[in-house]
């Protein structure tokens, strides 16, 4: 999920996240308000983040029942408002894959600044949309299904960084999923 609004970020992040210690105040307060267990890693320090994730992996092995029902989130900014530097997105994406995290990127400062067409840190590092986060990885899954899961819940998060083609494709997928639900009813 790529959020271009701090309000969106505050509402989207559930429990158990890792976050850079220098994320902006709005993200910090949103995470605190979520009641999540928050682990801080040193600013843009991928090795420190990996250390925390390995510690969590050991706790998960010790308590597999809890691990099975707990979601893990990584929260960063594309460009940090407090420092003006860029997150190491390619390395974070590798950790996201390795540890099965959901990645949240606040693009408030990087949108219209980074990338060839101004679409932010993901475009700057040429990272595919489906690699960058939660909401954008769900669409291909839904698109290839003949039937939707029982009691489906479709969540929509609007982002100014999506192209018109991305939005049209997402709307087409939502239409097809809705039609499948109506047919199954």
Higher-pLDDT residue of 184, 131: 131
* For the chain, domain boundaries: 2-184
Higher-pLDDT residue of 65, 108: 65
**Complete edge-to-edge strand list for the sheet that includes strand 2-3:** 2-3, 102-106, 73-77, 17-20, 38-41
What pLDDT is stored for residue 6 in this prediction? 45
- Residue 132 to residue 41: CA distance in whole angstroms: 19
- Domain with residues 2-184, CATH architecture: 3-Layer(aba) Sandwich (3.40)
94 Cα distance to chain centroid: 13
What pLDDT is stored for residue 14 in this prediction? 47
User: Which is it for strands 2-3 and 17-20: parallel, antiparallel or unpaired?
Assistant: unpaired
Percent of the chain with pLDDT over 90: 21
Predicted confidence (pLDDT) per residue in 13-63, tens digit: 444 455 556 677 777 777 777 777 888 889 999 999 999 999 999 999 999
pTM, to two decimals = 0.62
What pLDDT is stored for residue 54 in this prediction? 95
Predicted confidence (pLDDT) per residue in 134-166, tens digit: 433 334 444 444 444 444 444 545 555 667 777
CB hemisphere CA count around 162 (13 angstroms): 18
Q: 184 to each of 94, 143, 145, 154, 175, how far by Cα in Å?
A: 38, 17, 13, 16, 14
What pLDDT is stored for residue 153 in this prediction? 47
What pLDDT is stored for residue 130 in this prediction? 73
Q: 180 to each of 81, 143, 147, how far by Cα in Å?
A: 43, 11, 6
What pLDDT is stored for residue 60 in this prediction? 92
Residue 56's φ and ψ, nearest 5 degrees, are -65, -40
């Amino acid at each position: 999920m790529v959020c271009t609004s701090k309000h969106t970020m505050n509402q989207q992040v559930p429990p158990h996240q890792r976050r850079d210690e220098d994320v902006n105040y709005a993200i910090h307060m949103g995470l605190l308000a979520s009641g999540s267990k928050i682990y801080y890693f040193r600013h843009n320090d991928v090795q420190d983040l990996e250390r925390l994730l390995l510690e969590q992996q050991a706790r998960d092995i010790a308590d597999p029942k809890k691990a099975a029902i707990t979601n893990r989130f990584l929260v960063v900014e594309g460009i940090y408002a407090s420092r003006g530097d860029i997150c190491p997105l390619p390395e974070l994406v590798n950790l996201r894959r390795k540890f099965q995290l959901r990645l949240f990127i606040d693009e408030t400062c990087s949108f219209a600044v980074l990338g060839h067409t101004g679409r932010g840190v993901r475009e700057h590092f040429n990272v595919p949309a489906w690699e960058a986060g939660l909401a954008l990885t769900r669409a291909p899954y839904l698109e290839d299904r003949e039937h939707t899961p029982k009691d489906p819940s479709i969540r929509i998060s609007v982002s100014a960084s999506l192209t018109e083609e991305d939005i049209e494709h997402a709307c087409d997928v939502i239409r097809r999923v809705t039609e499948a639900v109506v047919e199954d009813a």
